[in-house]
Amino acid sequence: MKNRDNARGSLLLLLASFIWGTAFVAQSVGMEHVGPFTFMAVRSFIGSLSLLPVILLQSRRRRAKDEGRPMSAEQKRSLLRGGLVCGLVLAVAANLQQAGLKYTSVGKAGFLTALYILLVPLAGMLAGKRQRPALWLAIGLAAAGLYLLSIKGDFSINGADLLLILSAFVFTAHILAVDHYSPRVSGVALSCLQFLVAGTLSLIPMFLFEQPSLPAISQAWLPLLYAGVLSSGVAYTLQIVGQRLTAPTVASLLMSMESVFALLGGMVILGEMPTVREALGSALMFAAIILAQVVQLPPKEKIREAV
């Protein structure tokens, strides 16, 4: 039964990473009709709305189990604080990613964004958490991959790559913020609120720098629905269920596959063929992502999960 649950959890997380990876394609196609801030705002609102049915279902089950016990005042405050903080950070990270994606390939964007997989353990090291020496090898591989993907022969880096690298740093802050608040509140409710906050904040640059229109938004309806409903709503729910059935490090490994699916999605759907230099850089980045997760697994757990 345990092996069956582990397999089910792994499949759910792999499906979530597939949705997240291919969502890069939707984000790229959507910006043929609307600007990056408009796409982010509408997508976030759709994502927030798509989670409402899940929240209502959870609320019904909770009332039946707890005999109608309402959420405490402290839980409400934690949910509000968490939604505001996570939503603010998500708005910055996702808008940086969306803007960078407008001027680079889907596959390249996926791997540069995946830098957060390396930055999270680095943040833990700065906070005083001891990391294994092998992590430095992963960082070295990532640096080499980043060089091949982004740095030109004259040691310059283009603006789109810089935006994506910055988004990886902010996504790291978002992961740490979610890690801080999610144990205190419902994960789905927190996600719903953060999408609402991120969408509201995205309205500011949307009206300042873009000229949104309903006809343009309607032309991008399919990418917006994919990014909003599937990437935000469905994939997040799959992540919650999958992580309950899967060891944390295995879950991280599976979710990091989004960068590979982003590359494959760009190749198959958009015909974006990477250069030899970009393919090698992507391979090094992927190796670094996998190694960074594996070296964090305690030896006993590593042996147990390998069996």
Reading the chain (307 residues) residue by residue, the pLDDT tens digits are 556 666 787 788 889 889 988 999 999 999 999 999 999 999 999 999 999 988 888 777 776 665 556 677 788 888 999 999 999 999 999 999 999 998 888 888 888 887 877 787 778 777 776 767 777 787 788 778 877 877 766 656 788 889 999 999 998 888 888 878 877 887 788 889 999 999 999 999 999 999 999 999 999 999 999 999 998 878 877 776 776 676 655 566 677 778 888 888 888 888 888 888 888 888 887 887 777 667 655 554 443 443 3
Helices (H), the chain: 2-30, 36-66, 73-101, 106-113, 116-126, 134-150, 159-181, 187-209, 214-219, 221-225, 235-245, 248-255, 258-268, 276-294, 299-306
| Angle formed at CA 25 by CA 27 and CA 118, multiple of 5 degrees | 85
Mean pLDDT of the chain: 82
For 84-135, write each residue's pLDDT tens digit. 999 999 999 999 999 999 888 888 888 888 787 778 777 877 777 676 777 7
Q: Distance between CA 201 and CA 86 in Å, rounded?
A: 12
Domain boundaries of the chain, sorted by first residue: 2-306
Q: Distance between CA 102 and CA 90 in Å, rounded?
A: 18
